[in-house]
Structure formats: C-alpha cells, structure tokens
Structure 1
Amino acid sequence: MTREELLASPPDDYMNAEQLGFFRELLRTLRAETMNNIEDAKQRLAKPPEVNDDADRSSHEEEVRLALRIVDRERRLLPKIQAALDRIDDGEYGFCRETGEPIGLPRLLVRPTADLSAQAKELAERRERQFVHKRDG
C-alpha cells in the first residue's frame, strides 16, 4: 500500500489490516533509521578531528553539542516508536488515547507515533502552558 492509496481509502476502512501493515512497516523503518542515526552520531563523536586553533575548536564544540542534542532526541523517539508498535498489536493504533476518536491518516503519516488526535494534543498543550504560566506567575 502506498501513501496515496492509504489516503484514498474510504473512511470505513480506517485501521484495517492493510493500513495497520503499512504503519507497522513505516514504524519499523523509522526505528531502524533512528538507530542508525544514533550509531552514526556516536561514531562521529568517538573520532574527534584534530583542531589547531580556537575557531576550529569552537566550531567542533558546536558540532558536538548539536550531535548530542540529536542523539538525545532520537534516543527519546525509540520508546515512542515501540509504544506505537505495541498499540498496533493491541488494536489501539490510530485512535486517540484520550477520546477514542480516530487520529486520522494525514496526522499519522506526519507523526506515526502520535497517540492523541490533533484536537486532544492542542488541548493538552494549552493546559500545559496554563500550568507553567500559573507556576511561574
């Protein structure tokens, strides 16, 4: 199944076996790419270049900081990918964990690890901002 075929599916076919297979493969590919990205970053960090002046050292330190941020972000993505694969196995994938409503194919294509509908995510972010604002205020 291609993305185009997925998006052209009738609403009644939401999260049928073929669609679940599509997302299972998408998530497995994402997991493999994420693990490769982490390994590549680790390899780059393990072999620092020889730096001779302050400008080179500063540039290298900035590259290291960026690589560490990327590794951290990628590392935090792995459990989300596994949770999404588990939801496929449990028959819960594609449905909002708060409302039970469909998350929607376009959103899942953009963020296959999503477990909230766009509306539920927006509401959660609003609540979080209010909590932070009240806490800081």
Structure 2
Amino acid sequence: MPTNEKQQSTGNFSGFAPYVATKGEEYMGAPMRAHFTKILNKWKQDLMQEVDRTVDHMKDEAANFPDPADRASQEEEFSLELRARDRERKLIKKIDKTLQLIEDEEYGWCESCGIEIGIRRLEARPTADLCIDCKTLAEIKEKQVGK
C-alpha cells in the first residue's frame, strides 16, 4: 500500500479504507463489487488461518494428564476452541454464499424488500442480506416469538 494512504479499519477488516464512490457511480458496479470481494476474501483467509492455528495448537498441546482436573481443564479449553471454530466454519459458508452473490451481481440488495442495503452497512457487515429496516423488524419479531 502506498505510504500516502492511511490504513483504516472498515468494520472488523483492517487494512481496508472505506469505499468512496465516484460522482454518478452506479450502486454495486464493478469497482464496488471488487472492493467487497477483497474484504470478503481477506476475512475468509483470516478465518482459515485461525482454523489452521487451532489444529496446530490442539496437536501441540494434546497431553494425557494424569491429574483428572488438569485433563478436564484441557478438554474444556479444546471444547471452547472447537465451538468457536464451528461458528467460524458457518461464517466461512456464509462468506462463500456472499461471494457467489457478488459474482452473480445480486449482492447489495435486501432479500426482503429489494432496496439497496447501503455501502456503510455492508462494510460493517459484508455478509448482510437485509437492509437495516428489515433487519430491525426481523429482530423485533424474533424477540416477540422468543417470549
């Protein structure tokens, strides 16, 4: 990255400057899709590296402790790591689905009402598939059903 560009954070994605649309630029045109493709691919790469680190850590740290308390602590630690990796595995699937939407030129529009989700919302949550209004309504309905 050239030295005159500041590294900024976009959501959880360090190294990506917020997208600045040019005057008259079409929403989700090729440059915008390329921006989100880079963000999603970097996020996926980071998640995959974390999976590899977990596997290496579990191999390196696996020990047969004679003390049941030590063994239980290790098993609990591994269980927590595996749950986190399972959530990340599901997120990787969602990232892949989102990358396919970009490729199909269907990314960036609300699945519920069809309006633009918006660049800032997508930068904060690149896998978002609902606009903020539909997401808010869905959460309200979820809370009502949950009671």
TM-score (norm 2): 0.76
**How much has 1:95 moved relative to structure 2?**
1.1
Alignment match of 2:52 (pick from 36, 39, 46) = 39
Structure 2 equivalent of residue 60 of structure 1:
74
Is the alpha carbon distance of 1:54 and 1:12 closer, same or farther for their aligned partners in structure 2, counting shifts above 3 Å?
A: farther
Amino acid paired to 2:48: M
C-alpha distance in 2 between matches for 1:20 and 1:87: 10
Give how far 1:52 is off: 5.0
Task: Kindly report the root-mean-square deviation, in angstroms, between the aligned alpha carbons of the 2 structures.
Answer: 2.3
Could you tell me which residue of structure 2 aligns to residue 96 of structure 1? 110
Instruction: Trace 1:1-137 onto structure 2 (pairs within 5 A).
Output: 3-4=17-18, 6=19, 8-9=20-21, 12-13=24-25, 14-47=27-60, 48-49=62-63, 51=65, 53-133=67-147
Q: May I ask how many residue pairs the two structures share in their alignment?
A: 131
Letter in 2 for 1:119: D
Q: Determine the C-alpha separation between the residues in 2 that align with 1:49 and 1:120.
A: 49
Match of 2:13 in 1: none
Please tell me the residue identity of whatever aligns with 2:21.
Answer: S
Structure 1 residues 125, 19: closer, same or farther in 2, change over 3 A?
A: same
Q: CA deviation at 1:55?
A: 4.8
% same residue: 37
Q: How far 1:68 sits from its partner (Å)?
A: 1.0
Uncovered stretches (5+) of structure 2, i.e. residues with no partner: 1-15
Q: 1:110, CA displacement in angstroms?
A: 1.7
Of 38-47 and 80-89, more deviation after overlay is shown by 38-47
> Structure 1 residues 72 and 11, CA, compared in 2 at 3 Å: closer, same or farther?
farther
